[in-house]
Chains A and B, each alone.
Chain A
Amino acid sequence: MSRLTSTDYLKKVMSRYYTGLRIPSPGKRIAWVTSGAPVEILRAMNIQVAYPENYAALCAARRQSQRLIEIAESSGLSGDLCSYARCHIGSVLSPNAAPWKGLPRPAVLICCNNICSTVTLWYEYLADILKVPLFFIDTPRVDGAPASHQVAYVKRQLEDLVCFLEARFGRRLDEQALKATLKTSAQTAKLWANIRSTAMKRPSPIEAPDLFIAMAPIVVLRGTRAALDFYQLLHKELLVRIDNGVGIGRYERVRLVWDNIAIWHALFRVNQMFAAHGGVFVADTYTGGWTFELMEGDPLESMAHAYLSVFLNKGFADRLADLEKTLSEYGADGLVMHANRSCKPYSLIQPELAREISRRMGLPILLLESDMADPRAYAEEQLRLRIEAFMEQLGGIL
């Protein structure tokens, strides 16, 4: 399989980011934020941001999540809680057991419930044990496009956020700086969308595991030059692959779409089980969560609009329409749904989505039960049988 050379740059970008977080400097302030938080405001105010969710995913990918999860559980947290929350809280409770001794301590916590309601309690708990202020942004669920009263409601909270940060850190938000950050963010999101779309080509120049790895900067460095640079590099590399008609360097017998967050601790192992039978994941629904559009005009209003519209904040009809569109745009032969025990807003809806998709498109669908970061919910032989049978169902043998 051919490797993407931009991966080297990605590694540099990410390690620079994580080392940068830990280097102390005068006046340096860190905020912990949820993945769907309006980070551009913080960046424009020169506040460093750290992402507990991304940290937990990294721990899982390095196979170091289980220990932290067990620490969280033995402190009394339920095993039904999202494994990102358990993993991260474990790192807060026992930094010595955590990679890089956990994330550097925050001055504030910023939580936005556009992804789930788990983060609400997770961040309240953090505020409680760390004794730091929490700013909470509430985003009502959206069907179709956000209504104007919803946008106004969230915009007002963003104005409050600005006041909160200005008072807290004694800095002013410079409107020009915010506009510039937003512009970079919008460009990066657009580029990310284009990168994902290259996989519509046959053969696809990129597969979902690459996207899962390459998504880190759009999450944690959105609005920075470093992220934009990396995606430009990656995009160029993919265009060259397309020009030369080379795909990922492996036979593409069936094109698959992955639904839900990756199984981080077994990302390549699981992919390999499909790959062994000619399966290529040309798209996934998760990394598409960061392709939002930022409209021109009032910055806070366009942010309110964008952050209301993330897919986990949407109802069944929109989720179904998105999925159907992805499947047909990418020419999928099959759909694999990771029934991710941790992420309820993502997973509870899947059986019903599966039923509708199969009714409308007649596409073979496989439901795989596991967990994104808790290796104890991963039963390899069970998965293998399901995957191989699914690949046999997708043709070839009988």
Chain B
Amino acid sequence: MITAGIDIGSSALKMVIWESTGKILARYVGRAGYGSEARAREFCHSIGVHIDATVATGYGRGLIDWADRSVTELTCQVRWARQEVPAARTIIDIGGQDCKVIRISESGTLADFLLNDKCAAGTGRFLEVMAAALDVPVEELSGVPDGPSVSISSTCTVFAESEVMSAVAGGRNKQEVIRGINNAVASRVAALALRLGCVPDLVITGGVAQNARIVDAIASILSTRPVVPKEPQLTAAWGAALLAHDKFLSKREGSY
């Protein structure tokens, strides 16, 4: 059986085509925005195999009106973890516009969650804004070695940006500022995790999990070693494909 998971996030469109033998047949990561639905449709067609069921997730999940079901990213993450990291009890997902902390029950279901407040602190967008302020590509933020850092205390992205600008104007070197930015994201995310309670094993997903500096900083605040999947931004789409599989099975058995 072959199923599709489509995750339309605030900044990226992610898709996974999954075969029930346990193999990912195809994957896609691109920009979200206008045309996401059409690109999703084209991608599914381009695989050239019949897709038995599709689940859509992410902020744009409503766009995929041909999906068999739409499910939130939180449940998709949990479904993915149940299969790929069964010992996981907490997931921290740091996406483009929000940060989620998800608790998984002993039986592998969504037990509780917390989302960041209505602001960009502790999200991918925060990093993008700061990278732009420093005129470096976002990827460069994860490439700094350990060392001293400036402190960025403002939660508001706009105010934090002016803190960064004044550090630059004050002659602080770029690496110190970059460490400050990474630490700012990590401490905000960790605070959210502590509010919900961070039960190990911990998994960190979402695009920002590709920044190893931030992951390390979170790990040290929470004093636990997190699992970071190989393709951290794909986990929700993958979970969606798994849920599509569950759904197709239950439909076939007539129990849905």
User: Are the CB atoms of B118 and A398 closer together than 8 Å?
Assistant: no
| Complex contacts, A381 vs chain B, CB 8 Å | 59
Q: Which residues of A contact B74 (CB under 8 A)?
A: 389, 392-393
When the two chains form their complex, are residues A392 and B75 in contact, meaning their CB atoms are under 8 A apart?
Answer: yes
Size class of the A contact interface (CB-based, 8 Å): 10 to 19
Which listed segment binds A: B108-116, B153-161, B185-193, B204-212? B108-116
A355-398 Cβ-contact flags toward B at 8 Å (1 or 0):
00000000010000100000000010110011011001100011
| Known contacts A381-B59, A397-B243; is-contact A392 B118 (Cβ 8 Å) | no
Report the nearest A residue to B74, measured CB to CB. A389
Is B140 an interface residue, CB under 8 A from the partner? no
Whether a CB of chain A sits under 8 angstroms from the CB of B79 is yes
Report A-chain residues with C-beta under 8 Å of the C-beta of B243.
Answer: 397
**Out of B59, B111, B117, which one reaches A385, CB within 8 Å?**
B59
The answer for the CA separation of A369 and B108 in the assembled complex, in Å, is 28
Tell me whether A379 and B110 are in contact (CB under 8 A). no
Given the complex of chains A and B, what is the CA–CA distance between A379 and B59 in angstroms? 13
Whether B115 contacts A397 by the Cβ 8 Å rule is no
Compute how far the CA of A393 lies from the CA of B59 in the bound complex, rounded to whole angstroms.
Answer: 18
On whether the beta carbons of B115 and A385 are closer than 8 Å, the reply is yes
Known contacts A379-B118, A382-B118: does B71 contact A397 (CB below 8 Å)?
Answer: yes
Contact among B59, B82, B113, B118 with A389 in the assembled complex (CB-CB below 8 Å): B113
Residues of A within 8 A of B82 (CB): 398
- The CA-CA distance from A388 to B73 in the complex, in Å, is 10
A397 touches B118 (CB 8 A): no
The smallest C-beta distance from B256 to any residue of chain A, in angstroms, reads 11
* Residue positions of B touching A, CB distance < 8 A: 59, 71-75, 78-79, 82, 98, 108-113, 115, 117-118, 243
| Sample of 10 more A-B contacts, CB < 8 Å, known A364-B112, A385-B73, A389-B72 | A382-B115, A382-B118, A385-B72, A389-B110, A392-B72, A392-B110, A393-B109, A393-B112, A398-B78, A398-B108
Q: Which residues of A contact B (CB under 8 A)?
A: 364, 369, 379, 381-382, 385-386, 388-389, 392-393, 397-398
